[in-house]
Amino acid sequence: MTTRLDLANAIRVLAMDAVQQANSGHPGAPMGMADIAEVLFNDFMSHNPQNPHWPNRDRFVMSNGHGSMLPYAVLHLTGYDLPIEEIKNFRQLHSKTPGHPEYGYTPGIETTTGPLGQGVSNAVGMALAEKVLAAQFNKDGHKIVDHYTYVFLGDGCLMEGISHEVCSLAGTLKLGKLICFYDDNGISIDGDVVGWFADDTPKRFEAYGWHVIRDIDGHDADSLRVAIADARMERDQPTLICCKTVIGKGAPNKQGGHDVHGSPLGKDEIAAARVAMGWKSEPFVIPTEIYAGWDAKEKGAAAEQAWTEKFAAYKTAYPQAAAEFERRIQGDLPANWEENAQKAIDAIIAKAESPATRVASKNALDAFAPFLPEFLGGSADLTPSNNTFNKSSKYINSNHGPSQDFSGNYLSYGVREFGMSAIMNGIALHGGFIPYGATFLMFSEYARNALRMASLMKIRNIFVYTHDSIGLGEDGPTHQGVEQTATLRMIPRMSVWRPCDGVETAMAWKAAIEKKTGPTSLILTRQNLPFQTRSAEKVASIAKGGYVLKDCEGTPDAIIIATGSEVALAMGAAEQLSGKKIRVVSIPCVDVFLAQEAAYREAVLPTAVTARVAVEAGVTAGWYQLVGLQGKVVGLDTFGESAPAPVLFKHFGFTVENVKAAVESLL
């Protein structure tokens, strides 16, 4: 008779065999948490291996992502499209089993984890998305959004500061369908954690407003089952189940120590483990009865079918809402998106206003949001400064009203830039929303790893960064973004838009909304910027990331390239260089421009014209790819100062006269 321990041991042997074959990896966590995974997946997880994208599935996140062989083993055993050949190919090039779980590589992997703390942060976003989507779509007698988010995490995740940010917010928001399993094994790579991690973790989470279940034996199936059932009954608080485990459980000579954390067990220890576990099969061979005990295909198909029938009834009763739900889950934009977006942009052009681009951003949101109900916005405690609360926004935070109404679309994240960004990633991964979140450009530094993860996962996420340069003014160099725009441009797949006026700002928002293959950063000013007059053709060309804003007759003598607030300086310098043929090129998005066909790029920046000056209130290095070594960059390779913005721009040479002089020096 197959026992629960036999089923859990299947995870252990696959983990130790795969790590050994790869000669690389982390067997300790998968072996230590195998019993927890067995109870969770066989008794509670609602999922369908034959359809990893079923909307109402429970989400599972391995936040301690170095333990990747645990989810890989479970996915293989339960029947996902992850054959044993892929387990054998663990950590090898182009396999479906990379060293850390990667979204998009492996069926059933919900997010990319590895940087500790990111997984649980994404999971908070998933749980939040579930709660908001349920509030927006569920009706009396029709519960079409109703699932849990389960997280495995370890000491390392809890040491990372981001865990404090997101778990505090999860408690405040009462995300009762978020259930986390703390792998309390007392071991990290350096050894016994007591020397550097002595927190009273249960008290910490109780202080956050979590339901805490203490001192569960992580190897006792009955205790685990009772704890999970208890957690599922608690709907007003997220739950932390504190599981005492033995790292590397099953390895008789190495379990319980740091040697099993991040190294193969070795052939002798694996042989001893097989004997200790009573496991007689060869490496990568799972007995038929073990597969049968894990197989979730039939159960999963039945669960999805039951939901499909529920959704069919919902569709009959609420056809419009059902169609909207399906559209949003697919990530498609409304059928009338293009038409409405163009009307909004035309209206902005007609007004010809000259606001700060942070205000222009709000104007764009005011125009776009009414026909984008999937927007889920927020700010890291800077809403009045970031201008991200628009005419269609409605708070979902409990502190903005007497009750917890989650049917809204705007969240105050508090001073949690990193947590906000990672939560947004989780929202995007869950589906049903286009998240956007804002802070000052400088504080993108706090969020950097989450931005990178959004790009790595190729997910649609919109990061709004205002107060973009020394134009911030009196708050001084601690708050003035100098190098941030340039470094954001260096993140693969991150589109970085720095618009020069309201029209470019609206076009930037449109591009960000339409981009499904990665995130976007919008870089916006505090100070007002003049409206630039353009033809309809030039407006359309903004979408190409760069275009000729002001041209001359024939071949230019010189080209001035600029972004954001410095476009006005470029236009002013061109006017003063009246005796010369000057072209002004606005490049609000460098990566989009560089992705255009060579013929278009050549038409905008002719190779023959080597007299080129780029102007941007930030570091200069990145611009030499466009101006060449013969060109010049009017930029800022130092930090700013504390003073009013007009004083700073003059002090650091961001004047029409200086741009003009730079051009003249090349002629």
- What is the sign, positive or negative, of the torsion defined by CA atoms of 303, 243, 203, 418? negative
Total Cβ atoms within 10 A of residue 667: 11
8: enclosing H helix or E strand: helix 4-22
The structure tokens 């504080």 sit at: 443
Strand-pair category, 582-586 with 558-562: parallel
Q: For 395, what's the count of Cα atoms within 13 Å in the CB-facing half-sphere?
A: 13
The structure tokens 């066989």 sit at: 42
Q: Which residues are catalytic?
A: 417
Backbone angles phi, psi at 182, to 5 degrees: -90, 115
Burial class for 350, CB neighbours closer than 10 Å (0-12, 13-18, 19+):
exposed
Q: Write out the two tokens for 192.
A: 């016994």
The neighbouring-strand residues paired with 398 are none
Contact between 652 and 644 (Cβ < 8 Å)? no
Q: Write out the two tokens for 256.
A: 């319980």
Task: Give buried/exposed letters for 287-316 (b at 16+ CB in 10 A, else e).
Answer: eeebeebbebeebbbebbeebeebbeebbe
Contact between 293 and 3 (Cβ < 8 Å)? no
Instruction: Give the contacts of 302 (CB within 8 A, at least 6 positions apart).
Output: none
**The residue type at 442:** M
